[in-house]
Amino acid sequence: MKFERVLKRATFLDPLNGFQDGGRDCEVRKDPLTGRNSRILFFPIRELPQPDYEQLKKKDPGFCPFCPENITKITPKFNPALFTQERYSYGDAICFPNAFPYDENGAVTVLSKDHFLRISDLTEKIIADGISCCVDFLIDVKRNQPEAIYQSINWNYLPNGGSSILHPHLQVTASSVATNYYNDLCRTLNEYGDTLFSDLVDTEEGLGERFLSRDRYFSWIIAFAPQGMFDVIAISHAYFEPESLKKEEILNEIVSGIKRVIDFIESKKVISYNMSLFFMIGNRKFIPHMRLCPRTTIPPLDTCEINYMKMLHNEPMSTMKPESVAEELKKIWW
């Protein structure tokens, strides 16, 4: 597998150097999984201020449908014709239909009784119970809706990550229609062949520039072409379906990696992220994998990191070189 990149240089007369000949470099990189481009900009990174959790809590409206006193009164129950339980629960996690779904099977899994948890409060047990709860829901989807093959467990953590409720929760979907991500990936799979995922892992391991570890069930790498500021990918070594996450050792391995990545994100003074764990039921070429990206705003104006490039050109940009992120993350990995 070859990683495709184009180096670009913009030339101009540089005001910072007496209007002498100058310029700036950037790089266009193609994601080997989706075939989509990302851009790496070589700009100085502005130091982020300490996150102000108190300010965030002050904006909270006060009423929360996910808090224990409201959750069973206010959240919907699953359709008994399709599901074996009205709501799924596992540890403190509770899964119920999303009242504002994006698809025919959209559910929310509330992770804790606590209304607000910082990243450092999100223990491996909380995350593992949440994922297990989502898995119970997905097992029932497979049983009664075999056409809903595009299944994913997703996380918008805190408002910069797109969450409208502070109470920590996952979003789980199962659809008969592919998202653009699935479409892009399936196109690459058809063009490249069955060994796309294993070749990516082998190539990254060989290069070592972005490779974190090859564990028992998953390999961990920093994406060559990130979807966000940086993008950590965990790729399973074999095809499996969500119910395999009922096996404690598989679940624990992925959860422990997720926890390390989000702790790293918090150490960078970033307090939001997006995560997706992708499955495609019945397509043994589509290897389950997870992607996790930090989400932040840019000081001093809290500028949204998504501008016209990602919004309208569908081209993510980052000022963090994936290889430098990998170097830093390696220091806390295992």
Contacts to Zn ion by CB under 5 A: 64, 66-67, 115, 167
Separation of alpha carbons 225 and 195, rounded Å: 19
Min CB(108)–Zn ion separation in Å:
12
Nearer to Zn ion, 57 or 313 (CB): 57
φ and ψ at residue 233, rounded to 5 degrees: -115, 130
Nearer to Zn ion, 168 or 257 (CB): 168
Query: Which are the contacts of 136, defined by CB distance < 8 A and separation ≥ 6?
Result: 85, 88, 90, 95
Nearer to Zn ion, 65 or 106 (CB): 65
Query: Which are the contacts of 5, defined by CB distance < 8 A and separation ≥ 6?
Result: 27, 28, 29, 30
Min CB(119)–Zn ion separation in Å:
17
Query: Which are the contacts of 106, defined by CB distance < 8 A and separation ≥ 6?
Result: 97, 98, 171, 172, 173
Min CB(165)–Zn ion separation in Å:
7
Nearest to 305 by CA among 266, 273, 260, 278: 273
Nearer to Zn ion, 167 or 210 (CB): 167
Separation of alpha carbons 4 and 27, rounded Å: 10
Nearer to Zn ion, 28 or 67 (CB): 67
Nearer to Zn ion, 22 or 91 (CB): 91
Nearer to Zn ion, 57 or 269 (CB): 57
Min CB(167)–Zn ion separation in Å:
3
Closest residue to Zn ion, Cβ-based? 64
Nearer to Zn ion, 64 or 128 (CB): 64
Nearer to Zn ion, 69 or 191 (CB): 69
Min CB(67)–Zn ion separation in Å:
3
Min CB(319)–Zn ion separation in Å:
34
Nearest to 40 by CA among 82, 3, 94, 84: 3
Min CB(83)–Zn ion separation in Å:
24
Query: Which are the contacts of 18, defined by CB distance < 8 A and separation ≥ 6?
Result: none
Burial of 193 per CB tally in 10 Å (0-12, 13-18, 19+)? exposed
Min CB(160)–Zn ion separation in Å:
18
Min CB(61)–Zn ion separation in Å:
11
